[in-house]
Structure 1
Amino acid sequence: MTRYIALLRGINVGGITIKMAALADTVRTLGHTDVKTVLASGNVVFTSAETDTAALKSGLERALTDAFGYEAWVVLLGRTDLAAAVDAYPFDEREDWHSYVMFGSDPARLDELMVAAPDLDPADERIQRGDAVLYWQVRREVGIKSPFSTMAAKARFKSSTTNRNLRTLHKILDLPA
């Protein structure tokens, strides 16, 4: 049995509203156990006997699409991978800055974001490539209006990437393993 984290893109924003209890029930109907949701932003932690992560991801996306009537996109990772990504966060946390990890199910899309990112003003934001992630830190005043945020929001990245605030990731990792 493996402990997985499913990070859903676009939940409870942009008109896609899903109750976390209903989300957890949908994951349970697939035979997964110890299902927990964290916050209302599409973070599901569960245990599964499934070892084929591509099949697991596909099954989750299909079940969520069927249950909630939207095109579901999931980034799936193991708890160990999440912990490693958080532990490797390269920037010092700053009081007036947001610290994020961008996860991707397609490494080529992360590479594309890294290469295509404009020359960022380090006074406002910065990114760095990690192992299967991009680390991003942005000044709170700039936020979602930043050049990198605008680029990452483009349609071609939606099906394979999702951000999480570092505080949210710590909450996920604080759940019992």
Structure 2
Amino acid sequence: MSKIVLFLRGVNVGGVKVLMKDLSALLANAGYTQVRTLLASGNVVLDPGDAGLLEVQQRCNELLEAEYGRSIPTLAYSAKEIIQLGGPFPLDLPEPVAEHHGYLTLCESQAHAQQLLELAREAAPEADLALTGRALCWIVRKGQSTTDPLSKLHTSQARKQLITTRNHNTLVKLASIVQ
């Protein structure tokens, strides 16, 4: 099987500290190979051996809870999905481009992504949105990623369903690692 990318939700914010070197060691000790982290926000590439996406996700959730004494949810994505998400961003960034970021809110399923899209359209009818696989793509002006109406929506939805948001640049870097 090809590589899997795990996204940890809510680490290294709000008092939940997970050092990436410790995370790498935890996953390597559990038998995963070619473990590599990217940034301190909980992005991990690994070779799962014969395990499937959901099996890896569930096992990693268990390992994290045992190690840190609390639930740290993860989302597992295949290399194929990451390559798709790390390709060209499906929305045109407004001018000046350098003042905007493309974001992807990663979801457990395409159905959850579709539901999030519908909620996003209600919360910000003027927003430019797109679905790519299990991800909702959206744009935010730099410096407004926590105050933007879509950011607020995603924060509230993260209490109800398993989602996590990443900058498109992060997905581009991850795609280069899994290829």
Task: Spell out, residue by residue over 1:107-165, the C-alpha distance to the aligned partner (whole angstroms, 9 max, x if none).
Answer: 3332221111235264xx43212221111111124321111111111155565111111
> TM-score w.r.t. structure 2 length?
0.88
Which runs of no fewer than 5 residues in structure 1 stay unpaired? none
> TM-score w.r.t. structure 1 length?
0.89
Provide the residue aligned with 1:56 in structure 2.
56
Provide the residue aligned with 1:140 in structure 2.
142
Aligned equivalents of 1:8, 1:65: Cα separation in 2: 12
1:104 and 2:107 correspond: yes
Flag as ranges the 4+ runs of structure 1 deviating above 4 A: 155-159
Contact 1:97 1:140 in 2 (8 A): yes
RMSD over aligned CA atoms reads 2.0
Provide the residue aligned with 1:19 in structure 2.
19
Contact 1:126 1:138 in 2 (8 A): no
Aligned equivalents of 2:92, 2:159: Cα separation in 1: 27
Which runs of no fewer than 5 residues in structure 2 stay unpaired? none
1:64 is displaced (CA, Å) by: 0.8
Amino acid at match of 2:65: T
Provide the residue aligned with 2:71 in structure 1.
71
Instruction: Tell me how many residue pairs correspond in the alignment.
Output: 175
Secondary structure, aligned partner of 1:175 = helix
1:45 is displaced (CA, Å) by: 0.5
- Give % identity: 25
Contact 1:106 1:160 in 2 (8 A): no
**Cα distance 1:158–1:174, how it changes in 2: closer, same or farther (>3 A)?**
farther
Contact 2:12 2:18 in 1 (8 A): yes
Provide the residue aligned with 1:168 in structure 2.
170
Aligned equivalents of 2:15, 2:90: Cα separation in 1: 34
Secondary structure, aligned partner of 2:164 = strand
